[in-house]
Amino acid sequence: MGGVHVKGDLDLSEMKLSELPKIKSIDGNFKCYYNNLTSLKGSPKSVGGDFYCTGNKKKFTREDVKAVCKVGGVIYT
């Protein structure tokens, strides 16, 4: 299984990303808000904390996030 494991939080917000880097899992919170994302491809398979993805080019739903990632906390769309 490819990608990296992040111990703690990962903040990729406001970086003008059009795609996410391949991430295996994150122990803490994952923030990818205010980017140019149209897909959640590359999202971690699991996030121990909250998942933030508001303000992207595409308006993601909680169902979009749940389809690609197991989230231990709250999903913010």
Question: For the chain, which residues make up each domain, given as ranges?
Answer: 4-51+61-76
pTM: 0.94
CA dist., res. 8 & res. 77, Å (int): 21
H or E segment at 62?
helix 62-68
pLDDT digit string, tens, across residues 19-77? 999 999 999 999 999 999 999 999 999 999 999 999 999 999 999 999 999 999 999 99
